[in-house]
Chains A and B, each alone.
Chain A
Amino acid sequence: MKKDLNFGGWSCPLPLSNYPTIVLGHGSGGKMMADLIQHLFAPQFNNEMLAQMGDSTILKIPAGENNELKLAFTTDTFVVSPLIFPGSDIGELAVNGTVNDLAMSGAQPTYLSAGFILEEGLPMGLLGQLAGSVARACQEARVQLVAGDTKVVEKGHGDGLYITTSGIGLIPPGVNIAPNQARPGDAVIVSGTIGDHGIAIMSVREGLEFETVIESDSAPLNGLVEQMLAVAPDIHCLRDATRGGLAAVLNELAKASDVGIVFDERMVPVRPEVQAACEMLGFDPFYVANEGKLVAVVPEKDTEIILAAMHSHPYGLNAAQIGKVVETHPGLVLARTGIGGSRVVDLPAGELLPRIC
């Protein structure tokens, strides 16, 4: 009866290399999204500014003889369900997300615009509450909302509310922060505990709900960046670790700068409750989203002074050096594991899914 068993048997479905339509994974901040941008969007818009591929784009504006201003410009769209989640909401997220993208170029964010796509049936009270969040977040980040738009879509077409924000800010002279500026020997710093936001969202997601004290870490980071630049203007890279988590950021930097990055898993700050939730669902905390954390790549000699500056800011209390930039294995991120082994920390594939296996 066992004669039919062919242990050399080959069996495989047709390869799924090209989805004919967009699927959720395309929005998750991982490889699928990177490929979508690289192969579908980027070829249509061929200019050197878009090619920077930073969190915000740096524009050089002539300003009189031998002078130019550097302006950071960015846009971001906010699509989150539920609209209100532990610790924050889509309104606050929409402001902080764009403020942070600007801050990652070293810019001082000054003006924002916001477009609101409202789904038919969205309660006015809820919309008022979220608009209030937008206003408060602008105040904390010291930016002004100066242009806006609203549209309404039919019921069933919008998750309640989508918000797009765009922002500009001036980059002070002497600041040259970009994803391709990492150099071997630089220190890699993370500004605080990772995975909080993603876990906060999961805790209220249908089918996966659980109780936790974890809240979203949504925060404007421009104040923190300002403090860091004040003590060490020669920061090489800044990146806020949103979708795709810490792993996505480290990989993007390694590739953009064509360097290797090594980090020590034990040095990455993770709250025990986040660790517990990740274990339960089968997530790796390095792939879980954040909304108020940055990764900084700085000259090694400035590590201590920058960490001290971060520790004195409310959004940098748990800042820590987690690793460094190396010459070897360019484009690759390696981690020292808890037991002294090593592993490659790759870009996440797509959507973060809980697993049973």
Chain B
Amino acid sequence: MCLGIPGKVIELYETNGIKMGKVDFGGAIREACLEYLPEIQVGDYTIVHVGFGISQVDEQEAMETMELLREMERLAGDPAELTNFGNPMQEDSD
């Protein structure tokens, strides 16, 4: 369940007494309710589900984890042979 997509808060305002904002998902911008994220500021990233921000993306944690993942990839060298699909553009063994 739960299609939640990260987007960047680009504007904050209040409607009917609750915290709302405009969130940019990378070229699609939509209003989202940010009442559940009292600390969030313009420029922060949020995970949005059905028009509601449910978490603020922990960018520090994400960066550290990503660094770790990339480091492991670097150390490992070439990945193992792809045993499954291969590249359809080169599949000439029909």
Contact = CB atoms under 8 A, between A and B. Distances in A.
B87 A264 contact: yes
B interface, how many residues as a size bin? 20 to 34
Interface of B is mostly: loop
A140 interface: no
B92 to A, nearest CB: 9
A214 interface: yes
B3 A356 contact: yes
Contact of A213 (B27, B50, B84, B85): B27
Nearest to B31: A210
B94 A341 contact: no
B29 interface: yes
A357 B3 contact: yes
B49 A340 contact: no
B79 to A, nearest CB: 9
A271 B87 contact: no
Nearest to A210: B30
Interface in A7-25: none
Interface in A260-296: 262-264, 267, 271-277, 279-280, 282
Nearest to B49: A356
A340 B27 contact: no
Contacts of A184: 94
A277 B27 CA distance: 7
A265 B30 CA distance: 27
Contact of A357 (B1, B25, B94): B1
A337 B85 CA distance: 9
A340 B80 CA distance: 12
B86 interface: yes
A340 B49 CA distance: 28
A163 to B, nearest CB: 29
Interface of A: 184, 199, 203, 209-214, 262-264, 267, 271-277, 279-280, 282, 321, 323-324, 326-328, 334-337, 340-342, 355-357
Interface of B: 1-3, 5, 7, 22, 25-30, 48-50, 82, 84-89, 91, 94
Given A280-B48, A342-B85, A356-B3, 4 more contacts: A264-B88, A279-B26, A280-B5, A341-B85
